[in-house]
Structure 1
Amino acid sequence: MLGLLLVDRVGDTGVAGEVYTLYRRWYEQLLQGAFPLDDVTWQYPPGAALVFLAPGALPWLTYFQAFVALTLVADAVITLALARAGVRGAWLWVCGLPLLLHLPYARYDVQVTAVAVLALLAVQRRPGTAGALAGLGAMIKVWPVLTVLGTPPGRTTRRAWLSAAACAAALLAVLMSGFSHSLDFVRQQGARGVQIESLGGTVLQLARKAGWSGAVRYQYGAFELVGPHVSGVARLSLLLSVAALCWLLLWRVRALRWTPATPFDASFAAVLLFTVTSRVISPQYLVWLLGLAAVCLTSRHTTQRTVALLMLPAAALSALAYPVCYDDVLAGTPLGLLLMVVRNGLLLFAALLSCRRLWAATVAR
């Protein structure tokens, strides 16, 4: 993975381009005490500033070198934590991450996944710590808050949820007092359209072959589809995400049987649901799913063993789609369409299977 990163087109192009250009530019803006303003590519919660500023702690390295070094540290933390919890989970992570080629080390998703993995592994014995980590993760990239979704009812849930809320609120207050434009990301996130790698994007790409007049355009920092009915597909994706949230709340209310693996399984199922209903399914999303799948495999009580293993081919297909065959995906060639249909179909199947198994294991008939 490091070798691929080194031979990647060094500079502002290739997989590593985001670190060289976007992350470095944000780092310089954050040093001035302000979040990026009117920057369509800034779509992250304010806690992400902690990750983008962290390479400054290694001044003897370039920004790119320091970012990769810290990502490697986060990878090692995940591996060691999983190895202590259960060797099968550690093997899934170690073998699964390289299937994404060098992408994980050129994005900040490994760092976010490290916070989520540590939160899940702490739920049983230290729910307060787990909640604090979940709150921290939520301020960095939102989805880690789902790690406390499946906490056992009673004192554990109260401690975890209150700790998550307190940590997130405290961090937000600190960041808002230290930086201006802290909430500008909400406006940029709301303006996003349908990205070509998403489930809706795949449907629209297939529609292009059937005569739909839309096209692919680079906007909001990604390649999105534009044309008739795109806004309808985007609204449908949001509605499906709301439906997923409603199902998860219903599961939480109805669940009666809890095992040590239930918090792991619930978090994995929730992130899978929000992934397949998203307007954006970037390949780095598989970093999250691999991490959560690995945590599930640390427990012999998990209901998600088959679903966890499905993340391996999903990761390999994601790497084929980007960066290996990305030109085909953009052009909507038969190969590009096949990759997207199979990858997204696999993720959709995994999400449905995950929810079915979680419900069957925890909700009374």
Structure 2
Amino acid sequence: MNRRLHALVPPTPARPLPLLAAVWLATRALMLWLLVHDSLPVLGNGAVAREVWKLYFHWYAVLSHGAFPAHDTLWQYPPGAGVVLLLPGLVPGLTYFQAFVVLTLAADALVTGALARAGGRVGRSLRGAALWTCGLPLLLHVPLARYDVTVTALAVVSLLALSRSARAAGAFAALGALVKVWPGLVLFGTHRGHRTRSAWLCAAATGTVSLAFFVMSFDNPFAFLRQQGGRGVQIESLGGTALNLARHAGWPGTSRYRYGSVELVGPYVSAVATASLALTAAAFALLLVWRVRARRWSAATPYDAALTAVLLFTVTSRVLSPQYMIWLLGLAAVCLTSRHTTQRPVAALIVAATVLTSVAYPALYHEVMAGTWTGCLLMLARNGLLTAAAVLAFVRLWRFGRPPSGETVPMREPRAGSDRLAKRAPSYS
């Protein structure tokens, strides 16, 4: 039996892992070099690194006194973000900025290792680890100066833990949601039945206990809700791209720095913001319809559903910051750890959008803010790719979940630790 298995699925060669490690070290060294030279005009004139040593460090000082920033319009994050921002101050022998970068690299290495381990199993692929390793540097040095890598690590670990322990997956998803909300979506595609109940109940319990801790330990843990409610339309979002293009047709609005990002202000902005919220609600409704009507599941379906959900919520959001691409790269990489994923073309679109994102920020961000034709067309191309990726992701997820007419597929839950499809389920390339 073992001989037959090895004949059908050759063992993973040893060479790719050392090569992957070498590429990771080389690319991260390059990212560190870019961060050190952050003051160059083409790298943002210091704006990227300033987020850490000025804004994050300011919040660290407030948090270290047992309170969340209550009246700071820039503080728009759930209470779990406070823990991430406090950790660099606990690392001895390093400045806050240095410790933040070291912890971010550690989270990056954790993601790479988890993806490589998942991809090294029989029947899987190292493409996921390769996508993350080579895709993250496409954002230049931005990932090292944002805590989104840490958030993505929680989401990736949650998804990869799902096949072995639904409870662990739920706990990690809840912790991620407490840091930046969106990791809660990674449980959307869990197989109906015992695994969903275990994951969701554990997520609810973990979230409740963690929130209770923040309420008892800090003042103003829910101050972020007030700031989130006041946000407008960010210049990089789909709505912001439409309004920027409208400038060339006579729209009198302008861009202004508010709530931690560059937003557009002027007539019809509130209508665009409302439309974005309506589209987000419609996206959620579509995902619910898929979950109710899906009749076919594979071990890759939770991964595919997580990527689809986050893509839909990202493209319909009023905010679409460059660091959001870190989330999408991480989830796309998880999808590629399975040979049964339906999302390979979607991953390619995400990589292309990532390249355009790094051109827009920081290199040509002044063009985007000014609403020039260069800035408008750049954001139109980037957001067009992301919209196409979101639509394609949902279509492929939907088609896989609905068996061909007349075919009946039993709703069997994949075995823990297995990456096999039901016999009648095709593999999508």
TM-score bracket, normalised by the shorter chain, equals over 0.9
Give the equivalent residue in structure 2 for 1:280.
319
**Percent identity of paired positions between Structure 1 and Structure 2:** 61
Select 1:3's aligned residue among 10, 33, 53: 33
In structure 2, stretches of 5+ residues that fail to align are: 1-30, 120-125, 406-429
Q: Is the 8 A contact 1:261 1:299 kept in 2?
A: yes
Q: Is the 8 A contact 1:82 1:90 kept in 2?
A: yes
Select 1:21's aligned residue among 36, 43, 54: 54
Q: Is the 8 A contact 2:38 2:45 kept in 1?
A: no
SS at match of 1:225: strand
Q: Is the 8 A contact 1:269 1:351 kept in 2?
A: yes
AA aligned opposite 1:307 = V
Give the 5 Å matches for 1:240-319. Answer: 240-319=279-358
- The worse-fitting range, judged by mean Cα deviation, of 284-293 and 303-312 is 303-312
TM-score normalised over the length of structure 1: 0.98
The Cα of 1:56 is off from its aligned counterpart by 1.7
Select 1:159's aligned residue among 198, 201, 219: 198
In structure 1, stretches of 5+ residues that fail to align are: none
Q: Is the 8 A contact 1:12 1:18 kept in 2?
A: no
TM-score normalised over the length of structure 2: 0.84
Select 1:205's aligned residue among 212, 223, 244: 244
Deviations 1:144-181 (A, max 9, x none): 01111111111100000001111111111101110000
2:229 matched to 1:196? no
Deviations 1:240-288 (A, max 9, x none): 0011111111111111100000000000000000000000100100000
2:219 matched to 1:180? yes
Select 1:360's aligned residue among 390, 399, 410: 399
SS at match of 1:15: helix
Q: Distance in 1 between matches of 2:285 and 2:251?
A: 33
Q: Distance in 2 between matches of 1:77 and 1:54?
A: 17
AA aligned opposite 1:247 = L
Select 2:101's aligned residue among 60, 63, 68: 68
Q: Distance in 2 between matches of 1:361 and 1:190?
A: 37
Select 2:376's aligned residue among 337, 345, 348: 337
The Cα of 1:13 is off from its aligned counterpart by 3.9
The Cα of 1:57 is off from its aligned counterpart by 2.0
Q: Distance in 1 between matches of 2:402 and 2:145?
A: 41
Q: Is the 8 A contact 2:256 2:263 kept in 1?
A: yes
Tell me which protein shows more helix as a share of its residues: 1
AA aligned opposite 2:217 = G
Give the equivalent residue in structure 2 for 1:40.
73
SS at match of 1:259: coil
AA aligned opposite 2:199 = A
Q: Is the 8 A contact 2:139 2:354 kept in 1?
A: yes
Q: Distance in 1 between matches of 2:254 and 2:84?
A: 35
Q: Is the 8 A contact 1:74 1:111 kept in 2?
A: yes
Q: Distance in 1 between matches of 2:388 and 2:326?
A: 18
Q: Distance in 2 between matches of 1:45 and 1:107?
A: 16
Q: Is the 8 A contact 1:193 1:231 kept in 2?
A: yes
Give the equivalent residue in structure 2 for 1:96.
135
Aligned length: 365
Q: Distance in 2 between matches of 1:187 and 1:129?
A: 32
Select 2:145's aligned residue among 88, 102, 106: 106
Deviations 1:204-257 (A, max 9, x none): 000001000111111111110000000000000001001111111111111110
Q: Distance in 1 between matches of 2:241 and 2:213?
A: 41
SS at match of 2:48: coil
Q: Is the 8 A contact 1:251 1:363 kept in 2?
A: no
Q: Distance in 2 between matches of 1:308 and 1:65?
A: 32
Give the equivalent residue in structure 1 for 2:420.
none
AA aligned opposite 2:88 = P
The Cα of 1:12 is off from its aligned counterpart by 9.8
Q: Distance in 2 between matches of 1:47 and 1:259?
A: 32
Give the equivalent residue in structure 2 for 1:85.
118
The Cα of 1:125 is off from its aligned counterpart by 1.2
SS at match of 2:263: strand
Distance 1:328 1:186, change over 3 A: same
Give the equivalent residue in structure 1 for 2:171.
132
AA aligned opposite 1:6 = V
Deviations 1:304-346 (A, max 9, x none): 0110121111111001110000001011112111110000000
Q: Distance in 2 between matches of 1:16 and 1:190?
A: 27
Aligned-residue RMSD, C-alpha:
1.2
AA aligned opposite 2:50 = G
Give the equivalent residue in structure 1 for 2:22.
none
Higher Cα radius of gyration: 2
Q: Distance in 2 between matches of 1:75 and 1:232?
A: 39
Q: Distance in 1 between matches of 2:273 and 2:92?
A: 43
Q: Distance in 1 between matches of 2:283 and 2:203?
A: 22
The Cα of 1:136 is off from its aligned counterpart by 0.5
